Each structure stands twice: as structure tokens, then as C-alpha cells.
Amino acid sequence: MGMGTNLSGQGSDRFRVMGEINVTPLVDIMLVLLIIFMVAAPLMTQGVEVDLPDAEAKPLPSEVEPLVVSVKRDGSTYIEERPVSAQELAAKIKLIRGNNPNLLVYVRGDDQVSYGTIMTVMSQLQQAGVDKVGLVTEPER
């Protein structure tokens, strides 16, 4: 807030209290933060690179962040971004879901992975106590 002094003894209208806030720096900072988050958000959700099959299906509504199991083209399995062997999958999923048994599990399988490999992963999830599994696909182009 700026204010002046009346040294000349002239009218008091000349030096009034300024009650305005300069919002330009605030807007500049907000725009920079917006750009940073717009660039960073897709990078945080990318995960393991998998070429998903195309399907005409609507997204499942979800209020909770799901646990994602990915199967790459070579058959390697990942929980989120951490590699895990097919034999360890059930034990690790059971351990992760121990605190939250209602945690959603989504499977992202490469479109070149055999049906048998995906079914092995699904069987491991069933052994871990997962009753409902969502399969992730790309929208049809």
C-alpha cells in the first residue's frame, strides 16, 4: 500500500492512500504453474509402455486410484512400474491389498501377448483374492 505526504500544504486530494493490489505477478505465477502441471500430469500416469488393444467400451467409473498390473509383449509382468515374476505376482498382490481389500485391479496387456499369458495373470490375481478385474484397452480409432 503506498501513501504520500502532503509537504507542500496544498489540497489533501493530491496524495491519497492507494488501495489497489497489483495482480499481474500472481497471474503470471499461476499460468506458469498451470503449464508445469499440464506437462507433468501425463508423465506421471504413463507407467509401463504397453501397446493396448483397441476396443469399443466405455470407461469404468472409479473414485479410487486402481492398482495396475501390466503385461508387456515379451510376457514380462509389472505391478505399477515394478517388474515381478509370474510366480511372485499372487503373493505381492495379496500383500499390497492387505491394507485395502477393496482396491481395484486393472490389467493392461499388450495386444501381441497370448491369451494364455493374460489368463495366467488373471489366475494369479484370483489366487491373491481379487474377485473383480478391469481390463484396460485403447478406444477404437
Q: Distance between CA 113 and CA 55 in Å, rounded?
A: 16
Collapsing DSSP to helix, strand or coil, 138 comes out as strand
For 12, the grid coordinates are 489533501
Please report, rounded to a whole number, the percentage of residues in the chain having pLDDT higher than 70. 73
Residues 98-133: pLDDT tens digits?
877 788 888 888 888 888 888 888 888 888 888 888
Residue 140's closest CA among 51, 57, 71? Answer: 57
In this prediction the pTM is 0.56
CB 50 within 8 A of CB 121: no
Lowest mean pLDDT among 26-30, 45-49, 108-112: 45-49
Higher pLDDT, 138 or 111: 111
Collapsing DSSP to helix, strand or coil, 140 comes out as coil
